[in-house]
Amino acid sequence: MISIPFEKHTLQNGLDIITHVDKTVPTVAVNIWYHVGSKNEVPGKTGFAHLFEHVMFEGSKNHNKDYFGPLQEIGAMVNGSTTNDRTNYWENLPSNYLELALWLESDRMGFLLEALDQDRFDLQREVVKNERRQSYENRPYGMAYLKLQELLFPPPHPYNWPTIGSQEDLDGAEIEDVKEFFRSFYHPSNASISVAGDIDPDSTLELV
């Protein structure tokens, strides 16, 4: 059995921090999990968790532009994903830029709504709708998976609908809907962050 040593701390605001030291190479992996997924949606408003994953890369109050830019400039790998149970965002980057990654994450956790406008929302909604077409509707047997999910988890089970949502629900989504989704689920007490690699745990806790 593999045993990976780690430390876990919980801040007063409820944020869980998990650190793991590995100084093999001068890199660090940052991964923040929000404990919300498509299971937290309701029929008629599906796809919001995944849609908000996309919106999170559109900029925040103090970095009001493309989230990827400053991280890609330093050679970082950046992405996110959504499942039924969680939404996560991760960055792999040189360890001397850890503070940058943590600052960007903190700004969008605390101040994303100040930067979110209708144009950005509409853009990402169209991106998600195209992703659904590409991954399911226009792929041979792509819709079979969605149908199987419906049969395996009949209503009112929250796994009944796909993470990608339905085209109808995405079309009907309003910017205020996703803002309320953010207010409900995107806060420190509903999140966990792991920082692993070439780090000092005490210094990392101070940065967070």
Residue 193 pairs in a beta bridge with 17, 32
Q: What pLDDT is attached to residue 53?
A: 96
Instruction: Quote the pLDDT of residue 200.
Output: 97
Taking 90 as the threshold, does the pLDDT of residue 170 lie above it?
A: yes
Strand (E) or helix (H) holding 168: helix 167-172
In the prediction, which pLDDT does 1 show? 82
**Percentage, residues of the chain above pLDDT 90:** 95
- The Cα-based distances of 109 to 92, 147, 187, 208 in angstroms read 19, 34, 7, 12
> Does the pLDDT of residue 2 top 90, yes or no?
no
Looking up tokens 């929000």, which residue turns up? 34
DSSP state of 58: S
The upper half-sphere exposure of residue 64, i.e. CA atoms within 13 Å in the direction of its Cβ, equals 8
Q: Which helix (H) or strand (E) holds 1?
A: none
Cα 198 from Cα 184, distance rounded (Å): 34
What is the reported pLDDT for 140? 87
Catalytic residues: 53
Domains of the chain in sequence order: 7-207 (3.30.830.10)
| b/e code 171-202 from CB counts within 10 Å (16+ = b) | eebebebbbebbeebbebeebbbbbbbbbeee
